[in-house]
Amino acid sequence: MIFTNIIHSPVGTVHLIAAIIAMITGLFVILKGHKGNSSHKKIGYVYVVAMLFLNGTAFGIYNFGSFSMFHFFSVISLMSLTFGMLPMILKWSNKIRFHYRFMSWSVVGLYAAFVAEVFTRFIRFEFFWVVVMIGTLLVSIVGGYLIEKNAKNFIKKF
What secondary structure letter does DSSP report for 60?
T
Secondary structure class of 33 (helix, strand, coil)? coil
Q: What is the overall mean pLDDT for the chain?
A: 84
- Amino acid of residue 103: M
What domain range includes position 129? 2-157
Judge whether residue 65 has pLDDT over 60.
no
- Amino acid of residue 33: G
What global pTM score does this model have? Answer: 0.84
Summarised one tens digit per residue, pLDDT across range 20-55 is: 999 999 999 988 867 778 888 999 999 999 999 999
Asked whether 20 and 27 are in contact (CB, 8 A), the reply is no
Structural domains counted in the chain? 1
Asked whether 30 and 143 are in contact (CB, 8 A), the reply is no
Which residue, 4, 1, 6, is CA-closest to 117? 6
